[in-house]
């Protein structure tokens, strides 16, 4: 876990005092809403449908027990006893009152947390692989680089008023769990001539114009990462369209100017920035690495795990919720906060404390938040897995569904969000409940269903194997389905199936898709996505809309 220094502490204290004064001036009438809004957004405070919403950054999704307990404290003291983990590895509180927000920020600062740059046209919280530092397939832990980017981008004077928000994701593994191809900049760690560096992908993004990012440079050495990023964002800042917010993201800049033109301009800017930054990356990354403490793993104990697998409930959970750790005596535990019928990504204060306790007792004091809205214990000794499972079960956190149909991503949708055009959460709840009633998700196997309540695609529906997009069609909630999306290193944007479905029709429609897959797959080893790629949309459209002939006649 990265340990913040005195500079970070002083910076946060100053920033929070500044915002407290701004809130006071707003309440006293010294600032109008037009003046105050950009200031509150810079501190993560939105005004949503029913209340304010505070979005707190969890840098690259990493937490320790102390921070998780602080999040629980905020939920209890100033909210309604829960928090919502988001697809950008942040946490949102849905019910804060304006007067309380400065106190909430001060409480967060006690553990080095904040809400800076979780909104506004700035470089947002850098996201990363939630298995970083733990997974077996990793070249190196990407988090020191993520922290380097966080320090560089926080309050960066040139990049406080970008044409639009800017999102960077970073992975240290060839298997992309950080959706790098759907970010403004995606960084994929690779090695060249034995030296670590990054493949740089630009112009990816979801939203109303979904695009898979393009490689702008196949290799940037690790010691030139910041000057290269500075060059990219500099070129974007110059060219990005400020005349039309729907065309202001870098994906449109790249699309309109062409990747080759942008690449040339970035290289020209890079000539300058690399001299300005000379040596900075090496010095800073060395300092950051010193402050990231890798846990001293305790070996042995796998026999206890093998014995525990005799218990079928434990085995079912272990088969879905564990991932391979780089150390054979450890496992990565994904805690599903997607119990069937619950709100995806929500955890109560009590559950947060249980997860904090488990991290402290069994997990070398490390926790992660995944963009799939689950919580990870990245390093658990296999000998302790049965005990961890028992405690999770007692807290309602042992749902064995990670990577399965009910492990649904859903944005807050029109239950909370002022931008939403339809609800997402109750669709996810009803769908998961239906899947549980049918008892088919283990048979269906790996399936990612992702739901967004508007075109902005916070629910990542474009890259869901099944994507659901909620729209307002003539004053009625309507849900469009896309198929074949892929969030991994083989990223793809899902294709629309056809006309949308009503709120009442959407759950049965998804059920028909799952049944059609079970009927048409080659065998149990062919996943939903593989079957879709082999067969095309035909059989799935038929399941949704009936036989083609009948549709023509209709």
Q: Which residue ranges make up the site for another protein (CB under 8 A)? A: 26-27, 29, 32-33, 47-52, 80, 94-99, 343, 346, 414-416, 423, 425-426, 429, 472, 475-477
Strands 127-128 and 45-47 turn out to be unpaired
**Rounded least distance, CB 110 to another protein, Å:** 25
CA neighbor of 332 nearest in space, from 287, 296, 288, 381: 381
**Rounded least distance, CB 24 to another protein, Å:** 12
Residue placing its CB nearer to another protein in the complex, 76 or 489: 76
Residue placing its CB nearer to another protein in the complex, 50 or 291: 50
Residue placing its CB nearer to another protein in the complex, 98 or 140: 98
Strands (E), 374-492: 375-381, 409-410, 449-452, 466-472, 477-483
Helix (H/G/I), strand (E/B), else coil: 386: helix
**Rounded least distance, CB 425 to another protein, Å:** 5
Residue 260 and residue 254: Cα distance in Å, rounded?
Answer: 9
Beta-bridge partner residues of 470: 479
Strands (E), 20-93: 45-47, 52-56, 62-63, 82-85, 91-93
**Rounded least distance, CB 516 to another protein, Å:** 29
- What are the strands of the beta sheet with 168-171, ordered from one edge? 127-128, 168-171, 185-192, 195-202, 214-221
CA 330 to chain centre: 24
Residue placing its CB nearer to another protein in the complex, 378 or 470: 470
CB 495 within 8 A of CB 482: yes
Residue placing its CB nearer to another protein in the complex, 47 or 190: 47
Residue 464 and residue 353: Cα distance in Å, rounded?
Answer: 31
**Rounded least distance, CB 479 to another protein, Å:** 13
CA neighbor of 540 nearest in space, from 502, 494, 503, 504: 494
**Rounded least distance, CB 345 to another protein, Å:** 11
Residue placing its CB nearer to another protein in the complex, 105 or 269: 105
**Rounded least distance, CB 421 to another protein, Å:** 8
Residue placing its CB nearer to another protein in the complex, 403 or 426: 426
Residue placing its CB nearer to another protein in the complex, 51 or 316: 51
| Cα→Cα distances 232→150, 176, 279, Å | 16, 22, 19
490-521 core/surface letters (b: 16 or more CB in 10 A; e: else)? ebbbbeebeebbebeebbebbbebbebbeebb
Residue 5 and residue 2: Cα distance in Å, rounded?
Answer: 10
CA distance between the termini of the chain? 60
Residue placing its CB nearer to another protein in the complex, 29 or 194: 29
**Rounded least distance, CB 506 to another protein, Å:** 14
CB 397 within 8 A of CB 355: yes
**Rounded least distance, CB 94 to another protein, Å:** 8
Q: At what angle do helices 506-520 and 538-545 cross, to 10 degrees?
A: 140
Rg of the chain over all Cα atoms, to the nearest angstrom: 23
**Rounded least distance, CB 457 to another protein, Å:** 19
Residue placing its CB nearer to another protein in the complex, 273 or 351: 351
């Amino acid at each position: 876990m990265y340990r913040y220094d005195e500079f970070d502490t002083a910076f946060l204290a100053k920033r929070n005092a500044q915002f407290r004064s701004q809130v006071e001036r707003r309440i006293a009438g010294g600032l109008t809403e037009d003046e105050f809004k950009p200031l509150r957004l810079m501190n993560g405070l939105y005004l949503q449908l029913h209340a304010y919403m505070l979005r707190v950054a969890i840098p690259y999704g990493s937490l320790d027990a102390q921070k998780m307990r602080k999040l629980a404290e905020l939920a209890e003291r100033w909210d309604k006893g829960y928090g919502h983990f988001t697809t950008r590895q942040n946490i949102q509180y849905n019910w804060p009152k304006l007067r309380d927000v400065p106190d909430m920020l001060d409480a967060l600062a006690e553990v080095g947390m904040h809400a800076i740059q979780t909104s506004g046209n700035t470089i947002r919280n850098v996201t990363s692989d939630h298995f970083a530092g733990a997974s077996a397939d990793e070249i190196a832990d990407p988090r020191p680089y993520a922290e380097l980017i966080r320090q560089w981008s926080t309050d960066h004077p040139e990049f406080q008023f970008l044409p639009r928000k800017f999102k960077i994701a970073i992975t240290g593994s060839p298997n992309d769990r950080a959706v790098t191809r759907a970010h403004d900049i995606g960084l994929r760690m690779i090695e060249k001539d034995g030296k670590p560096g990054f493949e740089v992908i630009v112009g990816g993004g979801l939203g109303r114009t979904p695009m898979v990012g393009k490689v702008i440079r196949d290799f940037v050495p690790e010691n030139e990462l910041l000057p290269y990023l500075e060059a990219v964002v500099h070129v974007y800042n110059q060219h990005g369209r400020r005349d039309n917010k729907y065309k202001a993201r870098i994906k449109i800049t790249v699309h309109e100017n062409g990747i080759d033109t942008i690449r040339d301009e970035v290289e020209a800017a890079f000539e300058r920035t690399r001299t300005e930054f000379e040596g900075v990356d090496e010095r800073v990354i060395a300092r950051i690495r010193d402050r990231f403490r890798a846990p001293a793993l305790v070996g042995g104990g796998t026999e206890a795990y093998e014995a525990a697998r005799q218990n079928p409930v434990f085995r079912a959970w272990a088969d879905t919720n564990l991932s391979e750790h780089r150390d054979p005596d450890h496992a990565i535990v994904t805690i599903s906060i997607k119990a069937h019928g619950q709100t995806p990504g929500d955890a109560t204060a009590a559950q947060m404390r249980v997860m904090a306790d488990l991290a402290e007792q069994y997990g070398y004091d490390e926790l992660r938040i995944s963009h799939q809205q689950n919580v990870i214990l990245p390093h658990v000794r296999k000998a302790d897995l049965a005990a961890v499972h028992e405690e999770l079960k007692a807290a309602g956190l042992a749902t064995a569904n990670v990577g399965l149909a009910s492990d649904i991503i859903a944005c807050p949708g029109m239950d909370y969000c002022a931008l939403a055009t339809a609800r997402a959460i109750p669709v996810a709840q009803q769908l998961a409940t239906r899947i549980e009633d049918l008892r088919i998700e283990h048979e269906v196997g790996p399936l990612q269903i992702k739901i967004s309540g508007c075109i902005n695609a916070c629910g990542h529906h474009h890259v869901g194997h099944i994507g659901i997009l909620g729209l307002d069609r003539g004053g009625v909630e309507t849900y469009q389905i896309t198929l074949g999306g892929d969030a991994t290193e083989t990223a793809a944007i899902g294709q629309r199936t056809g006309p949308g479905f009503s709120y009442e029709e959407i759950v049965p429609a998804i059920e028909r898709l799952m049944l059609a897959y079970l009927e048409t797959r080659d065998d149990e080893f062919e996943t939903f996505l593989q079957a879709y790629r082999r067969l095309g949309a035909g059989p799935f459209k038929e399941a949704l809309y009936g036989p083609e002939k009948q549709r023509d006649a209709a």
